[in-house]
Amino acid sequence: MTAPALPTISYLDPSVLARIGNLELLARTVVEGFINGLHRSPLLGASTDFAEHRAYMPGDDIRRIDWRLFARSDRHYVKEYEADTNTNFNVILDISPSMRYGASADDGRPSKLTYACYLAACLTYFSSLQRDRVALATIDHDIVDYVPPSAKHLQLILHTLDRVDRKGRDAKVTPGRSTLLAPLRKLSETMRRRSFVVLISDFYEDPDQVIDALSHLRGRGNDLIVFHLLDPRELNFSFSDASNFIDMETGDKMPIIPEYLRQQYRELVREHTAALAKRIGESRADYSVFDTSKPLDRALFAFLSARQRFNRVR
């Protein structure tokens, strides 16, 4: 998915955001700046007031009957507002060891995990503005943290993200194989309402396994957006010196001469992301690959577009 061009908002640059210690401030900075940018966008149009009419069902509060419409049509309709259409907004964040990769002191680029935390914070804040019930789950080979959905859990989620981010920066990487299947299956079982689910991961798994894991979420009627985060070096493999490469997930070592493997590696990554895009798209979820050196507004825009599309479909 390619996002339309937006006015450049320099403070959305990850390296700039990395200097902001407070996640709430960061999220507010990003989201409000982003919304200000959207005001000039032709795609603006989402209303938060009236949403639709629904036929009166026994048990509905009679105060919500649209009496004006009753006067015109002589039928009872209940007025539904956006507040009533709000869903649960779940962020599922992969915090496996491989997500800690990418921190660069040279250009201030954050790690994938930090970037993911920013992204999760921004999306949560954004949804909180929409008065959605927000929830967070961090996963590894299992569920690590879980914040249940609530309109009041913004601060808790931000706090959890902050802790995850700090732990990811400070703690030494201990290899460990992580899979999406088990934690996503557990999570899907906890979602009793139809939810809006954002999954943030680097997806170092076979596409079939990924689809298998995602099917549990989609099977419950959840709207799913998948953000695939990759560091620029994971995309380009721009290493120069021959080195011993250590797998952060498994601890495996492998002597590599980058210049000889670069082309094949890029090809395989391209095939992997293409396969994921195709398979996830087929399951009616939205999929985006993100370079962690790129500004966050692309992710927000992708999220907003997907949300609008899902709204229209609904």
Partner 1 sequence: MNFLAPAFLAGLAAIAVPVIIHLIHRERRVVVEFPSLMFLQRIPYRSVRRQKIRHLLLLLLRCVALALLVAAFARPFFERRRAALSTTGAREVVVLLDRSSSMGYADRWTKAKDAARKVVTGLSAGDRATLVLFANDASVASEPMATPDRIIAAINAAKLSAEGTRYGAALKLASQILAASTLPRREVVVITDFQKIGWANHNEIVFPRGTTVTPVDLGGASSSDVAVSQVTTDRDSTPQRDRVTVAARLINTSAATKAVAATLSIGGRDVQTQRAILPASGAQQVAFTPIAVPSGATKGVVHITPDSLTPDDVLNFTIAPDEAVPVLIVEPTNPRENQSLFLSRALAIGDRPSFRIDVKRVDALTPRDFDGRALVVLDEVAPPTGPVGARLRALIDGGGGLVVAPGGSRTETWPAEWRALLPAVGQTVDRTNDAGGTLSSVDYAHPIFEIFNAPRSGDFSTARFLRYRALTAQPGMTILARFDDGSPALVERLVGRGKLLTWASSLDSYWTNLPLQPVFLPFVHQLGKHAGRYADPRPWFTAGEVLDLSRHGELTAPFLSGRAADSTTELVLEAPSGQRERVTAGGPNHMITLREQGFYELRGRDTPVGSGRPIAVNVDPAESDLSHLDPQDMVAAVTAVNGQRQPGGDVFASTPQEQEQRQKVWWYLLLGALLLMGIETLLSNRLSKAMSP
| Binding status of residue 274 toward partner 1 by CB under 8 A | no
Instruction: Out of 20, 69, 269, 275, name the contact with partner 1 by CB under 8 A.
Output: 269
Minimum CB distance to partner 1, residue 90 (Å): 25
What is the spatial distance between Cα 197 and Cα 93, in angstroms, rounded to a whole number?
Answer: 10
Instruction: Out of 16, 25, 254, 274, name the contact with partner 1 by CB under 8 A.
Output: 254
SS3 46: coil
Sign for the CA dihedral angle at 12, 13, 14, 20 comes to negative
- Which amino acid type is present at position 138? T
| 211 and 104 Cβ atoms separated by less than 8 Å | no
With a CB cutoff of 8 Å and minimum separation 6, the contacts of 185 are 213, 216
**In the sheet that 133-139 helps form, which strands lie side by side, from edge to edge?**
143-150, 133-139, 88-94, 195-201, 223-230, 286-291
Minimum CB distance to partner 1, residue 248 (Å): 5
Per CB under 8 A, contacts with partner 1 among 121-180 are 173
| Binding status of residue 261 toward partner 1 by CB under 8 A | yes
CB atoms within 10 A of CB 157: 25
Half-sphere CA count of 65, side-chain side, radius 13 A: 15
What is the spatial distance between Cα 262 and Cα 178, in angstroms, rounded to a whole number?
Answer: 25
| Binding status of residue 297 toward partner 1 by CB under 8 A | no
**Considering only 3-11, 135-143, 193-201, 254-262, which stretch makes contact with partner 1 by CB under 8 A?**
254-262
| Binding status of residue 235 toward partner 1 by CB under 8 A | no
Binding mask 183-202 for partner 1 (x = CB under 8 A): -------------------x
How far apart, in Å, do the first and last CA atoms of the chain sit?
21
What is the spatial distance between Cα 250 and Cα 98, in angstroms, rounded to a whole number?
Answer: 9
Minimum CB distance to partner 1, residue 292 (Å): 12
Q: φ and ψ at 283, to 5 degrees?
A: -90, 15
The nearer residue to partner 1, 49 or 241, going by C-beta atoms, is 241
| 246 and 239 Cβ atoms separated by less than 8 Å | no
Sign for the CA dihedral angle at 286, 214, 310, 9 comes to negative
Which of 116, 107, 124 minimizes the C-alpha distance to 16? 107
Instruction: Out of 272, 288, 292, 302, name the contact with partner 1 by CB under 8 A.
Output: 272
Instruction: Out of 8, 36, 150, 238, name the contact with partner 1 by CB under 8 A.
Output: 238
| Binding status of residue 290 toward partner 1 by CB under 8 A | no
Separation in Å, CA 236 to CA 112, 239, 261, 268, 294: 15, 9, 11, 11, 14
Minimum CB distance to partner 1, residue 236 (Å): 7
| Binding status of residue 223 toward partner 1 by CB under 8 A | no
| Binding status of residue 268 toward partner 1 by CB under 8 A | yes
| Binding status of residue 243 toward partner 1 by CB under 8 A | yes
Binding mask 89-128 for partner 1 (x = CB under 8 A): --------xxx-x----------x----------------
**Considering only 1-9, 52-60, 246-254, 305-313, which stretch makes contact with partner 1 by CB under 8 A?**
246-254
Binding mask 41-60 for partner 1 (x = CB under 8 A): --------------------
Interface contacts to partner 1, rule CB under 8 A: 97-99, 101, 112, 173, 202, 204, 231, 234, 236, 238-250, 252, 254-257, 259-262, 264-265, 268-269, 272
